[in-house]
Amino acid sequence: MSKGRVHVVGAGIVGLATAASLVQRGYEVTVIDREGPAAGASQGNAAAIAWTDVAPMASPGLWKQAIKWLADPLGPLTVRPAYALKILPWMLRFLAASNPERVARSTEALVDINSAVLPAWERLWRVSGTHNQVRRDGCLELLDTPASLENARKSWAEQRKHGIAVEELEAGAIRELEPDLSTRAIGGGLVPDWAQVDDPKILCLSLADWLKGQGVDFAVGEVDRLEPHDNGCGLILKSGERIEANRLVIACGAWSKHLAAQLGDRIPLDTERGYNITIPDPAVTVKRFIMLPGHGFVLSPLSTGLRVGGAVEFGGLHLPPNWKRVDAMVAKARLFYPGLKTEGGKRWMGFRPSLPDSLPVISPATHHGGVFYAFGHAHHGLTQAAVTGEMIADMIDGKAHAVDPAPFAADRF
């Protein structure tokens, strides 16, 4: 017997994973998206299941590095001048989240949710038949200066404290793993339990196809307004159409902020714009996920080519892309892979929905029963999607989940 219908706004990976958890619990589900499955950040991310990342972006020592990066307009971190005043309140919250006590709390919450990531994904991969789209070749972090190597060692020590394996490697051992590498790297670390998917867009479309086979309905339309009432919530689309939802999940990433605000939740969500290029024939072999923490980007081998991407640009949802950022990443990538070619590469820019304390909102709405939030995952939307979906389904079911939801509450701000 059906438990009734739940409407999910957002057909990115978090919305799809939430729909998957709900349909398995016996709910009827309708997914509404402004463009359709995998139209936003879920199609262009780096494909990592980065459950081993437990350090929040906000940290006491980050500001020294950030100031250095901000001096380079094409560096790993930049603020577009036209957006500087708008991002200032977010930055001040980020600074407040960087004190040691707040960082310790955020780290504890990340360890808690990320420890549930792989088991949740294993369940979803298995039931949806997408288990063959997963790779387990590990992640190789490369460092090219003594200072960056020393900083990495501190991060690895923190990961080991939480039971995450990291093997430090010398330069020669690194090149045995990645023969096409130059001699640029002086050291690195192998995180063997890291996982990634073949291609995030293909995974999303596969999940969407499976969901359709389970009876999930998909609708294309942009939700413009919410009108909550005693029996649920009215969704007013930009087309003028009205949809009545008894239970509603808002999971539309960077576009979630204004919907939550209409329900009285002023959540300090902003966007970290990320850039990449996916090269079908890069002329070099990259055998596993490569992270370059000193330079703020990654190289990710996909089934569709090599993806070179990353960086953080604060510029909101409306400013045009600055494609010179892709050129800058490619130039740096060639320091490590001199034979890298980019002919036929496809450039992309997307919006990571980010909160100052590096924790998503996975929570009931503060003031309206029957409405739930699942957004703000920043760099870890793909990573945390499956466990987020299970947490939301438990909330709707009125059950407790193994992950403590308190750090992810909408009213924490």
Residue 120 lies in a domain: no
pTM of the model: 0.96
Evaluate if residue 226 carries a pLDDT over 80.
Answer: yes
272-292 tens-digit pLDDT: 999 999 999 999 999 999 999
Note the pLDDT of residue 63. Answer: 66
Tell me the C-alpha distance between 40 and 36, whole Å: 9
373-398 tens-digit pLDDT: 999 999 999 999 999 999 999 999 99
> Does one domain contain both 182 and 225?
no
> Does one domain contain both 308 and 373?
no
% pLDDT > 90, the chain? 92
Are residues 390 and 23 in contact, defined by beta-carbon separation less than 8 angstroms? no
Residue whose C-alpha is closest to residue 20's, from 162, 274, 302, 210: 210
Tell me the C-alpha distance between 383 and 181, whole Å: 27
Residue 255 lies in a domain: yes
> Does one domain contain both 274 and 188?
yes
Q: Which residues, other chains included, contact 354 with Cβ-Cβ below 8 Å and sequence gap of 6+? A: 57, 269, 270, 271, 272, 376, 378, 379
Tell me the C-alpha distance between 137 and 159, whole Å: 19
> Does one domain contain both 288 and 248?
no
Average pLDDT over residues 245-270: 97
Note the pLDDT of residue 294. Answer: 87
Note the pLDDT of residue 203. Answer: 98
> Does one domain contain both 230 and 259?
yes
CA–CA distances in Å: residue 295 to residues 69, 103, 188, 357: 9, 23, 14, 22
> Does one domain contain both 257 and 273?
no
> Does one domain contain both 249 and 153?
no
Mean of all residue pLDDT scores within the chain: 95
> Does one domain contain both 154 and 252?
no
Evaluate if residue 182 carries a pLDDT over 80.
Answer: yes
Residue 80 lies in a domain: yes
Are residues 283 and 171 in contact, defined by beta-carbon separation less than 8 angstroms? no
Tell me the C-alpha distance between 196 and 398, whole Å: 32
> Does one domain contain both 76 and 167?
yes
343-372 tens-digit pLDDT: 999 999 999 999 999 999 999 999 999 999
The model's confidence at residue 66, banded by pLDDT at 50, 70 and 90, is: low
The structural domain count of the chain equals 2
Average pLDDT over residues 311-332: 95
**Which among 306, 334, 354 is the end of a domain?**
354
Tell me the C-alpha distance between 101 and 97, whole Å: 9
The model's confidence at residue 311, banded by pLDDT at 50, 70 and 90, is: confident
Q: What are phi and psi of 132, to 5 degrees?
A: -80, 5
SS3 328: helix
Give the CATH number of the domain where residue 379 resides.
3.50.50.60
Note the pLDDT of residue 64. Answer: 66
Note the pLDDT of residue 387. Answer: 98
Task: List alpha helices for 178-255, DSSP H.
Answer: 200-213
Tell me the C-alpha distance between 101 and 111, whole Å: 16
Note the pLDDT of residue 1. Answer: 73
Domain that holds residue 404: 5-43+202-268+358-412
17-62 tens-digit pLDDT: 999 999 999 999 999 999 999 999 999 999 999 999 999 988 776 6
Evaluate if residue 270 carries a pLDDT over 90.
Answer: yes
**Which among 310, 327, 354 is the end of a domain?**
354
Helix or strand holding residue 393 (H, E):
helix 381-397
Tell me the C-alpha distance between 123 and 402, whole Å: 15
Give me the residues paired with residue 141 across strands: 189, 291
Q: Which residues, other chains included, contact 409 with Cβ-Cβ below 8 Å and sequence gap of 6+? A: 361, 363
Note the pLDDT of residue 364. Answer: 98
**Which among 354, 373, 393 is the end of a domain?**
354
How does DSSP classify residue 287?
Answer: -
Residue 64 lies in a domain: yes
Give the CATH number of the domain where residue 85 resides.
3.30.9.10
Helix or strand holding residue 338 (H, E):
none
Residue for token digits 């995952």? Answer: 377
Average pLDDT over residues 179-188: 97
The model's confidence at residue 178, banded by pLDDT at 50, 70 and 90, is: very high
Task: List alpha helices for 129-245, DSSP H.
Answer: 146-161, 171-177, 200-213
What residue type is 114 in one-letter code? N
> Does one domain contain both 179 and 279?
yes
Residue 96 lies in a domain: yes
Give me the residues paired with residue 43 across strands: none
Evaluate if residue 303 carries a pLDDT over 70.
Answer: yes
Tell me the C-alpha distance between 223 and 228, whole Å: 13
> Does one domain contain both 258 and 366?
yes
Q: What are phi and psi of 270, to 5 degrees?
A: -140, -175
Give me the residues paired with residue 279 across strands: 306
Residue 262 lies in a domain: yes
What residue type is 331 in one-letter code? A
CA–CA distances in Å: residue 126 to residues 15, 129, 312, 321, 374: 18, 5, 34, 38, 23
Evaluate if residue 69 carries a pLDDT over 90.
Answer: no
Average pLDDT over residues 318-345: 96
396-408 tens-digit pLDDT: 999 999 999 999 9
CB < 8 Å & 24+ apart, contacts of 295-298: 295/76, 295/329, 295/332, 296/69, 296/75, 296/76, 296/77, 297/76, 297/329, 297/332, 297/333, 298/46, 298/48
Evaluate if residue 215 carries a pLDDT over 90.
Answer: yes
> Does one domain contain both 156 and 181?
yes
